Structure formats: structure tokens, C-alpha cells
Amino acid sequence: MDDERPDYVGAWERAGFYDLPKTFDRKMIETGSTFYIFVDERRSTQEGMKFRGRGLDIWGKSAIEGTITNEEISFTKEYDNNAKKKGGRKEVMNYRGVKEVLEERESPAHLTSLSFFAGLITSKTMKIPKTFVMKML
């Protein structure tokens, strides 16, 4: 994963869109809630784009599987055994978010749209859902 470019970057808990890194930065993983997703497989279906890949965050590596549409994203995340030993959740986590769009006017003639996903993370033993934001890199 060191020389690969991730497809998505995100963060959980108290993270905002503007706090997300603009590129792959391994140091950001060590600081807390930043996570990266590397998509290995994509498949178009009637429900949206199905994807599978790998995640990387402060706890280590995880398996990712989900669906993305123009309006939302949902995926599961399951840590590998090494990540679980370091403190990653033992059970599968469920991420579900909706697409948000921010518009920024750089000048009277130039309007830029920035899109990202914001949502909740849940699992069987998580008593209070966590929030997350993520965007495509």
C-alpha cells in the first residue's frame, strides 16, 4: 500500500471535509481517525457501483466491501487479525453516508463544486454510532 494511490480518504469523529488530506499521507494515519480505501474491484449493478478493496488506518489493514451511488455510499469494514490485536474493532463495522456538495465561488465567473460523503458508523456492540466524512482522492 505504500506506493499505491488510495481511491478515498476519510475520517471518523470530529472530522470535517476541510480536515481531510488532499493526497495519501501515511503520517495522517498515525494521528488518529484518518482512513484510506484502496479499491481493487468495481462492478456496475442496478443498485449502483459495487466495490471491494482494502482499508488502512491507525489500527492497520481491513477488508472493505460496499456500494456507491450518485447520492450515497454504504460499506462494511472488517479488520484483519493484526489490526484487531492493536485495538481495532473485533466485529464488522457498517458505514452509511449521503453525498453532500459544497459550492465555492473563487471569482464571479468561477464556481467550484466539492463533493463528499457524510454519515454514521455502526456495529453490533457500538452503543453510540460514530460520524464520518470521506471523499474521493
Q: Give domain status of residue 73, yes or no.
A: yes
Range of the domain at 101: 8-136
| Separation CA 29–CA 25 (nearest Å) | 7
Has residue 105 got a pLDDT over 70? no
Report percent pLDDT > 70 for the chain.
92
Q: Give domain status of residue 90, yes or no.
A: yes
Q: What is the CATH number of the domain that holds 41?
A: 2.40.128
Question: What pLDDT was estimated at residue 54?
Answer: 98
Phi, psi (rounded to 5 degrees) for 17: -55, -45
Please report which helix (H) or strand (E) contains residue 129, including its range.
Answer: none
| Separation CA 63–CA 55 (nearest Å) | 6
Distant-in-sequence contacts of 45-54, Cβ < 8 A, 24+ apart: 51/75, 53/7, 54/1
Q: Give domain status of residue 43, yes or no.
A: yes
pTM, rounded to two decimals: 0.89
For 26, the 3-state DSSP assignment is helix
Number of domains in the chain: 1
Has residue 104 got a pLDDT over 90? no
